[in-house]
Amino acid sequence: MASARTIAEELLKRAGIEIGGTQPGDLIIHDESVFARVFAGGTLALGESYMDGAWESTALDVTFAKMLGAHLDRELKPSVRLLVAYLKARLFNQQSKRRSFQVGEEHYDLGNDLYEAMLDSRMVYTCGYWKDAKTLDEAQVAKLDLVCRKIGLKKGDRVLDIGCGWGSFAKFAAERYGAEVVGITISKEQAILATERCKGLPIEIRVQDYRDINEQFDHIISIGMFEHVGVKNYRTYIEVAQRCLKEDGLFLLHTIGQNVSLPTGDAWISKYIFPNGMIPSAAQLTKALEGLFTIEDWHNFGSDYDKTLMAWFHNFDKAWPQFKNQYGERFYRMWSYYLRMCAGLFRARGTQLWQVVLSKDGVKGGYMSVR
């Protein structure tokens, strides 16, 4: 019977990865038990063993781009622990109102100073638009402007920003377009800094669950928040947007998307990065939209997330010495794994980034797509 290492070597060879090699993406093994551990525990064990220092990569993002491009993730069978998590997601609402603030407390409240060092100057924590951009700052400004142009934003418009983060869109829309913005977030730390950064502008920042919103807005935007909603709540989320949007308004939904429908998120990401998170498929999203919205435009620029994530990683890595004592080495390995693994995933095109423009009853005369 072949050993776990032999099986792993054969699988990795299909992806052009060598154990002990020197090419980008090749692996260095520090603990031989890692092979059996990963085969038993799947993607959760793969990430945890990296955090434990059991293995290294010459270029982690390249490793994942190669592995996912060769679909090696399909070879990792789920353990009993992962099956239990799957069943919990099927049976229970992991993103209920009671649980919705958990991701804010565990992820977004980590420390504003960490995010200030990692992100662009506007603190945009979502995919940039790199079509004509050469820097992270340029890519994020281009993305914010793209959103404004897609919804036809004009002076005096009142906009709801669901999942407003540190107020980047709200500030941009108010300064550049003269809009009034209500931004909601489930992170207390985000709300404090967003309020400070948006001071003096017609912007209101609230710590609030999206289900509690019941007001009228000219437009609604949601940039990188839908990934926290959960499939059991997609219809409710869309119903909230539908009741809050004026009849002739537009709703722009910016979300990561995946090619298959799953009831839960990746086990490692859910445990260490985004509690209760999951990525929607096109089928899950359109089912939630049915009868409530007309799809005017569906724009995929997922490959841009690779560039964005790598820019975040380089910023984080450069700033790490000032955070080392505060967070510790295990956090560095966890955060590096998160950023570079996700970059590899988008590079392999296994995951997408969608901007969907929606109207309540169809734009009269048709909607002109903006790119």
According to the model, what pLDDT value does residue 100 have? 46
- Give the whole-angstrom CA distance, residue 33 versus residue 296: 52
For the chain, the domains span 4-89, 97-301+349-359
Alpha helices in the chain (DSSP H): 4-14, 34-51, 60-69, 80-91, 102-103, 112-118, 136-150, 168-177, 188-197, 234-244, 267-272, 282-289, 303-319, 324-327, 329-347
Could you report the per-residue pLDDT of 203-244, keeping only the tens digit for each? 999 999 999 999 999 999 999 999 999 999 999 999 999 999
Catalytic residues: 342
Rg (CA), the chain: 21
- pLDDT tens digits, 178-197: 999 999 999 888 999 999 99
pLDDT higher than threshold 60 for residue 198: yes
Q: What is the pLDDT of residue 76?
A: 61
pTM for this one?
0.90
* The CATH number fitting domain 97-301+349-359, selected from 3.40.50.300, 2.30.30.100, 3.40.50.150, 2.60.40.10: 3.40.50.150
Q: Render pLDDT for 320-350 as a digit per residue (tens, 0 to 9).
A: 999 999 999 999 999 999 999 999 999 999 8
Q: What is the band of 83 on the pLDDT scale with cuts at 50, 70, 90?
A: very low
**Residues of the chain above pLDDT 90, percent:** 80
Q: What is the pLDDT of residue 85?
A: 43
Contact by Cβ (8 Å): 174, 180: yes
Q: Which of 1-10, 11-20, 68-77, 313-322 has the lowest mean pLDDT?
A: 68-77
- pLDDT-derived band of residue 103, with 50, 70 and 90 as boundaries? very low
pLDDT number for residue 342: 96
